[in-house]
Structure 1
Amino acid sequence: MANVRSTYTDSVQFYGQEDPRELVARFGSPLYVYNENVLRSCCRDLTSLSDLPGFQVNYSAKANTNPSLLRIIRSEGCVVDAMSPGELYVNQLAGFPKGEITYVCNNVSAEELKNAAEHCDVVSVDSLAQLELLGQAAPGSRVMVRFNPGIGAGHSDKVVTGGKKTKFGVDPDMLPQVQDIVARHQLCLVGVNQHIGSLFMEAGPYLEAMEVLLSMAEKLMALGYPLEIIDFGGGFGMPYHKYEGQPRMDMQALGKALHGCLAAWVEKTGYKGRFFIEPGRYVVAECGVVLGTVHAVKNNGPHRYAGTDIGFTVLARPMLYDAFHDVEIYRDGGQPDDRLMEQTLVGNICESGDILAKDRALPPIEQGDVIAMLDAGAYGWVMASTYNHRLRPAEVLIGADGKARLIRRRETLEDLTAALILD
């Protein structure tokens, strides 16, 4: 399906038997499109990191909660976490039983903690206050404590979740207070976890933080706590700059180092529980694109703008994090075009910050073109909103057979007012 700029999706047969322009014509614009084969491949990258008994991929559902994708992820052997009652509900809809759901939250109510304790295998808390609240709301429940390893990594300060400048985690020096709260409320401390950040491409900080958490786990086991879960978090990066040849994270090297570290620790300690990694982005980012239509092209002075219907209500990451997404361009009768000119892609929201790609060198974009923002499967639809009363888009899955099926309908004007009480 070679088109104006389509080398990447052509190379992985992303659209299967479909054509992106025909998908937009059939399901509307903008439109999220996912590929089942890509999703399964990414799951297998992670499940193959170690064959150690007890090693599991605990998918971080906040990255994408569509139940159709969750079912595929479960079928690949992954378990799942939830960060809210809503995520817990869709995890259950997708078929995950209680024993396969971990509740990973912060700064939530006693009511929410009690609900999580009743419907999840274990509840993770990341502060003494939340541990105390869980003990009051659900004494005797199974708990995992999130410790801050003092190490952070990520592509933006907004996604670094370890170290001293983050809201997440309990300082390891507060272990005596943790023990006191656990004892007073007869909580069952069955796990420890951590998370250092998101979208790191080098394994060094992750492996260093693993050693910190294993040391904490060993200390707790020596104190008599029956640990069943040691969760090292996620954050593995993937290449967003595909047209620049950005290399992938070396998952083979990561797996060798991770497996070696865990195997040696198991032999040393006799631990028989589970080891979790907790990826979200790596699982779903590359399996999704968002398609949109170019409705206007203009120049303001020397600056060329291509105006699309993909506002930040559809794809928020560029606005929130200055995140980069590669762009593909399709048009009727389009042919590969190597000419490049500096252009800025913008959306349809009445905000100056509604920018998808700033000053990007791309083939000349024309009114009527369909564009794809690549690697939008993670933190795409789940971050969409109805600001400006724009409707959220439909979602389509390209199955293993190469055919498209609707997995979420486009919102309607009636959906916008469904919760209103009109006098």
Structure 2
Amino acid sequence: MSDIRSTYTDSLNFYGSHTPLELAETYGTPLYIYNEGILRERCRDLMTLTSHPGFGVNYSVKANANPALLRIIRQEGLVVDAMSPGELFMDELAGFTAGEILYISNNNSPEELQNALAHGLLVSVDSLSQLDALGRLNRGGKVMVRFNPGIGAGHHAKVITAGKETKFGVTPDKMDEVFALLAEHRMTLAGINQHIGSLFMEPDGYLEAAAVLLHLAQSLPGNALEKLEIIDFGGGFGIPYRKYEQQPRLDLAELGRRLHELLSGWARKTGYAGRFLIEPGRYVAAECGVLLGRVHAVKNNGDKRYVGTDLGFNVLVRPAMYDSFHDLEIYRRPGERAPSQEPQLQTVVGNICESGDILAKDRLLPVMREGDVLGVLDAGAYGFVMASNYNQRRLPAEVLIQSNGTARLIRRRETLEDLARGFAGL
């Protein structure tokens, strides 16, 4: 393979015993590729964050719900959450049991809440309305309540999940109303949780919010703290998306040290002996995934050079939805290297009929041409799970590079017949 731009994946032997060109030829593009070794390494990063008894990692399945990956995550000792009947189905398909799944409710219908209860799950609610609805369905049962600590963090307003400008959580000033509903339905508060947002790269905000939740737990009325089984601090652990700029990683060693001190000191002071959970999704799955696509057309509109690919926002919506940055690699067959040219500003676009279908805007990259294969780095989280059939494009295939370096298809590409499967009367 001509090494146009591939030093990052080369350094990891990301594609195992294959090349990205071989994988693109074999399985077609667009194509999601996942590396098992990297996935396991990220799980272990988090599982060893602190040795405090009862500490665990609750993987947020919304980041990537492929059962083949979920099985690996379960093997590494993580538990999972579910936010819908579909996610619950995938969790169970991967082998997770009721005691290994939390149901993180968000404006769910009574039917969805009843489904979670029927599967034996502890349900987290994030409003008084949902607490009341669950109480009517589960009188005398247990519940988890999501609180809003008033501290938000994230790379974009759309992923900040705490503070005043978000729909999530119960504010602490509603505590009396929470306990009135618990008493009315004779329910036990078995857990409290929060989530401040997505993609934080410094530990301070996360630890500050964790301390706020612990203070809230300690100030619960009556003997409620003694009945708590789970305190879940949420997630948002960031990863460095700017690989070719050597963006520094989140300092997990510092975060782990400070988190361990916080948890251990608080547990000693209060006598709490339940579980502490963190709730990362992106950190677990993002870096194990690369999205492959092909360049099909290049052109200049005025002074702007456009590189047209099959990587529309139907395949990866993050850049269009969140203005997210993903680094790109460029692969080309041996002997097909273009004459040496200085890198140029290029805008990489997809094949969707929308002007916002932009994967990378005004990037200084080696000059691309028709036939090149592109690798979109860090696409393992919020990639395939947010893909759609817009413009009636088919969902891509997914392939796992196993620990022995071989490739295994873990989801086939959709067919045209799949597009019509849900229609009636044809």
SS of corresponding position for 1:4: strand
Corresponding residue of 1:147: 147
Q: Is the 8 A contact 1:142 1:189 kept in 2?
A: yes
CA contact (8 A) 1:2 1:10 kept: no
Equivalent residue, structure 2, for 1:3: 3
Please show how residues 9-28 of structure 1 align to structure 2 within 5 Å.
Answer: 9-28=9-28
Q: Shift of residue 419 of structure 1?
A: 0.8
Structure 2 CA distance for aligned equivalents of residues 262 and 239 of structure 1: 27
CA distance in 1, matches of 2:342, 2:250: 30
Counterpart residue number, 1:402: 405
CA contact (8 A) 1:117 1:141 kept: no
Using the TM superposition, give the Cα deviation of residue 120 of structure 1 relative to its aligned residue in structure 2, in angstroms.
4.3
Aligned partners of 1:338, 1:263: CA distance in 2, in Å? 57
* Greater Cα offset, 220-229 or 97-106: 220-229
Partner of 1:189: 189
- The whole-number CA distance in structure 2 between the counterparts of 1:409 and 1:63 is 19
Once the two structures are superposed, the pairs formed by residues 128-147 of structure 1 within 5 Å of their partners are: 128-147=128-147
With normalisation by structure 1, the TM-score equals 0.98
Q: How does 1:2-401 map to 2 (within 5 A)?
A: 3-220=3-220, 222-225=222-225, 226-333=227-334, 339-401=342-404
Give the whole-Å Cα distance in 2 for the aligned partners of 1:2 and 1:221.
66
Deviation at 1:372, TM superposition (A): 0.7
Closer/same/farther in 2, CA of residues 208 and 297 from structure 1, 3 Å limit = same
**Which 5+ residue runs of structure 1 have no aligned equivalent?**
none
Deviation at 1:72, TM superposition (A): 0.4
The answer as to whether partners of 2:15 and 2:401 remain within 8 angstroms in 1 is yes
Change over 3 Å in CA distance of 1:172–1:21 after alignment to 2: same
Native 8 Å contact 1:221 1:227 kept in 2: no
Deviations 1:273-318 (A, max 9, x none): 0000000000000000100010001100100011000100000000
**Could you list the runs of 5+ residues in structure 2 that have no partner in the other structure?**
none
Residue 219 of structure 2 aligns to a residue whose secondary structure is helix
Secondary structure in 2 matching 1:220: coil
Q: How far, CA to CA, are the matches of 1:141 and 1:26 in structure 2? A: 52
Three-state SS of the structure 2 residue aligned to 1:396 is strand
CA contact (8 A) 1:102 1:120 kept: no
Note the C-alpha offset of 1:335: 6.2
CA distance in 1, matches of 2:27, 2:139: 49
Cα RMSD (Å): 1.3
Contact 2:153 2:196 in 1 (8 A): yes
Mapped partners of 2:118, 2:185: distance in 1: 16
- Please give the alpha-carbon distance, in whole angstroms, between the structure 2 residues aligned to 1:47 and 1:223: 31
Contact 2:341–2:367 (8 Å) recurs in 1: no
Q: Aligned partner of 1:421: which letter?
A: A
Among 395, 400, 420, which residue is 2:423 paired with? 420
Contact 2:287 2:380 in 1 (8 A): yes
Q: Is the contact made by 1:140 and 1:188 (CA closer than 8 Å) also made in structure 2? A: yes
Question: 1:383 deviation in Å?
Answer: 0.3
Separation in 2 of the partners of 1:120 and 1:418?
32
Report if aligned partners of 2:2, 2:332 keep a CA contact under 8 Å in 1.
no
What SS class does the counterpart of residue 29 from structure 2 fall into? coil
Q: Distance in 1 between matches of 2:405 and 2:221?
A: 49
Offset from partner CA, 1:209-238 (integer Å, 9 cap, x none)? 011100111122753350000000000100
**Structure 1 counterpart SS, 2:23:** helix
In structure 1, what residue type is equivalent to 2:385? V
1:180-220 deviation digits (Å, cap 9, x = unpaired): 11111122210000000000101111000011100111122
* 1:3 alignment partner, SS class: strand
Aligned residue pairs total 423
What TM-score do the two structures reach when normalised by structure 2?
0.97
Cα contact 1:298–1:306 (8 A) shared by 2: yes
CA contact (8 A) 1:113 1:134 kept: yes
Aligned residues of 1:232 and 1:278 also touching (Cα < 8 A): yes
Q: Is the 8 A contact 1:117 1:142 kept in 2?
A: no
Aligned equivalents of 1:348, 1:67: Cα separation in 2 = 29
